[in-house]
A and B are shown apart, each in its own frame.
Chain A
Amino acid sequence: MMRPATIILFAVVCVAIPWLPPYGQHVVILVALYGALALAWNILGGMTGQMSLGHALYVGAGAYVSTVLFLKFGISPWLGLLAAVAAGGALGALLGFTVFRRRLSGVYFALVTLAIAEMALHVVSNWSFLGAANGLSIPSTPGVAAFQFSSKAAFCYVALGTVVIVSLVIWAIERSRLGYVFLTIRENESSAAALGIDVVQGKVIASAISGALAAMIGPIYANYVLFIDPESVFGVTLSIDALLFSFVGGLHAPLGPLLGAAVLVPLTEWLRGELTGHLAGLHLIIYGILLIGVMRLAPEGLAGLLSRLTGRRST
């Protein structure tokens, strides 16, 4: 995965950031955050083969944990970020433990994650301490201590930093025994069990790591936009986006989900600019067509196409 081309491309983006217009920087931030989310989703969805439709749960939990700690208890967003990751990991482990022990998989797993995320959305929407449906605003106090940076460029580096962290975790998993555990579970659960792998434990670990990393996106998003409400961080669209970017980019290539976000997010932004309010939802129609097209014509996603073009096995 750490092919020289990938690293060079990443370095070029990093160097170019200060010269990009603010809007370009905004797009880089969005690509990085969505890319990191899709990568985190893919640890459970692609690497372990358990398709979640509720990853907004972790993003939302992370965003609310750090924001509430900051607004109500005055705790630094940096600590909030750590708390968010811990909360996401705990939620992922708890959810995984409850669900996988009952042997739910396939569509049942997708449905139960969707239901739990929707439940969280409605709980937060009705909880006045958390701002209910109106959401929470974070007062603008630029400064590194408050996790708000004076320039968009600095935020770009933070967002790219999350991508690096998630990628490094994935890289470490792939090089360790855990990577093979995940792969064996994905390919054949009975064989995995026959080999002496604790299938339930493997899935719970995947769910916890995936949840912790997804929860990291929440506080960063919150401190970038300075406003969160239940629909924007717990909404089902976010869960579907994570799945969509991963599928379009390629589930089985380590950086496929990032590639998916890097292609689709700028496309969305460009379409939004071109249409300026006409034909709302057009980009989602295109997403739908792409999703079906990729599924039918190139099941290995864009990353698969790319490696077929360059004649290598994986990106």
Chain B
Amino acid sequence: MGHWIARVLMDILPLLPQTLADGILLGGVYAIVAVGLTLTFGVLRIVNFAHGDFLAVGLYLTYFCASFLGLDPYLSLFIVLPLVTLAASVTYRLLIAPILDEPERNQIVVSLGLSLILQNALLATFTADLRTIPSVMAGRVVRIGGMFLQTASLIACAASILVCLMLYLFLRRTERGRMIRAAAQDRDAALMCGVNVDRMYLLAFCIGVGSLGLVAPLIAPFSYASPSIGINYTLMAFIVVVLGSMGNFIGALLGGFIIGIAEAVGGLLTGGSVNFIIIYAIFTLFLLFRPEGLLGGRRL
């Protein structure tokens, strides 16, 4: 016991600020991925198991731009974002809109099918090799206090928080945002008030999934592309969303930081993939004892 405490004081404590910072930066990225999921769930009431796979598609598009067009991820953003948004709108028209009224189980199965298709289309096209994506920002660090932070991950986190806040303001303050919320709260009432609910659904899905087209190039410099990376992000986004309450933006931000920090600190304390056990345990306990999440209620 005494030995263990000594180890914590000597080895782990000095590393803690750095780890916390890493966790917060990671949390920002989780937050925006989760905000996309919570938006599609909150508005369309649809559970999208293929959410993270669109991020994987975005990463491979970024990789493609980097290796064939020589574009830096920060430039290819202007190609990847529209393309992923386009893919989202096509997916909405072909797959999502027809199943909106079906039982939840069928929606889960259709989105699982889409996930299988996307993940394995990437596998068939790009093989299972991990691809790193070159960028001017790769490997650059800034020193803040005693901590070294990757510039790229600082940019990604800042952009994520900014986009989350912009989306929040968009939904709260603009006419279009109010129409989306109206469609989310009561579809029939919104229809009767002249809101084009189908268009609002399309818009919400395009924003929720399309935002992954922004996240992908931003995380590309410090991440990698792999066909199976999507499922990790899907699961992580679900965890964050459940933690922060389904449909709640602020909750998603909060949940993102909690999970990011839990992953980083868990990794520091235990090593291996034990940190995932911690995260899944937090998630399971929340589902069992507080399924409405930290903030509770749907506040879209």
Number of residues of chain B lying within 8 A (CB) of chain A: 42
- Tell yes or no: A243 within 8 A of B by CB: yes
The distance in angstroms between the C-alpha atoms of A291 and B50, with both chains bound, is: 14
Taking the closest CB of chain A, its distance from the CB of B179, in whole angstroms, is 26
The distance in angstroms between the C-alpha atoms of A102 and B239, with both chains bound, is: 18
- Tell yes or no: B144 within 8 A of A by CB: no
- Tell yes or no: B106 within 8 A of A by CB: yes
- Establish whether residues A285 and B108, one from each chain, have CB atoms under 8 Å apart when the complex forms: no
Q: Which A residues lie within 8 Å of B109 (CB)?
A: 243, 247, 291, 295
The distance in angstroms between the C-alpha atoms of A288 and B235, with both chains bound, is: 19
The distance in angstroms between the C-alpha atoms of A290 and B47, with both chains bound, is: 20
- Establish whether residues B277 and A236, one from each chain, have CB atoms under 8 Å apart when the complex forms: no
Beyond A126-B273, A126-B274, A295-B106, whether A104 also contacts B291 by CB under 8 A is yes
Number of residues of chain A lying within 8 A (CB) of chain B: 40
**What is A's interface to B at a CB cutoff of 8 Å?**
49, 51, 98-99, 102, 104, 106-108, 110-112, 114-116, 118-119, 122-123, 125-126, 236, 240, 243, 247, 279-282, 284-285, 287-292, 295-296, 299
Beyond A51-B105, A110-B108, whether A99 also contacts B124 by CB under 8 A is no
Query: Which residue in chain B gives the minimum CB-CB distance to A119?
Result: B280
Known: A108-B242, A243-B109, A295-B109. 17 other contacts (CB 8 A): A102-B289, A104-B288, A106-B104, A107-B104, A115-B284, A115-B287, A119-B280, A122-B280, A126-B273, A247-B109, A281-B227, A282-B124, A284-B116, A288-B117, A291-B109, A291-B112, A296-B99
**What is B's interface to A at a CB cutoff of 8 Å?**
47, 95, 98-99, 104-106, 108-110, 112-117, 119-121, 123-124, 127-128, 227, 231, 235, 238-239, 242, 272-274, 276-277, 280-281, 283-284, 287-289, 291
- Establish whether residues B280 and A51, one from each chain, have CB atoms under 8 Å apart when the complex forms: no
Residue from B117, B120, B280 within 8 A of A118 (CB atoms): B280
Q: Which A residues lie within 8 Å of B227 (CB)?
A: 281
Taking the closest CB of chain A, its distance from the CB of B280, in whole angstroms, is 4
Residue from B98, B105, B120 within 8 A of A284 (CB atoms): B120
- Establish whether residues A122 and B273, one from each chain, have CB atoms under 8 Å apart when the complex forms: yes
- Establish whether residues B113 and A51, one from each chain, have CB atoms under 8 Å apart when the complex forms: no
Can you list 7 A-B contacts (CB < 8 A)?
A51-B108, A102-B287, A106-B105, A107-B104, A111-B283, A115-B239, A282-B120
- Establish whether residues A108 and B287, one from each chain, have CB atoms under 8 Å apart when the complex forms: yes
Taking the closest CB of chain B, its distance from the CB of A183, in whole angstroms, is 16
The distance in angstroms between the C-alpha atoms of A7 and B65, with both chains bound, is: 57
Q: Which B residues lie within 8 Å of A287 (CB)?
A: 113, 116
Residue from A107, A115, A247, A291 within 8 A of B280 (CB atoms): A115
Query: Which residue in chain B gives the minimum CB-CB distance to A290?
Result: B113
Q: Which A residues lie within 8 Å of B112 (CB)?
A: 240, 243, 288, 291
Taking the closest CB of chain A, its distance from the CB of B100, in whole angstroms, is 13
Residue from B47, B127, B238 within 8 A of A280 (CB atoms): B127
The distance in angstroms between the C-alpha atoms of A24 and B116, with both chains bound, is: 27
- Establish whether residues B280 and A292, one from each chain, have CB atoms under 8 Å apart when the complex forms: no
Residue from B95, B127, B288 within 8 A of A292 (CB atoms): B95
Residue from A112, A247, A290, A299 within 8 A of B288 (CB atoms): A112
The distance in angstroms between the C-alpha atoms of A122 and B284, with both chains bound, is: 15
The distance in angstroms between the C-alpha atoms of A281 and B289, with both chains bound, is: 39
Taking the closest CB of chain B, its distance from the CB of A135, in whole angstroms, is 15
The distance in angstroms between the C-alpha atoms of A133 and B151, with both chains bound, is: 34
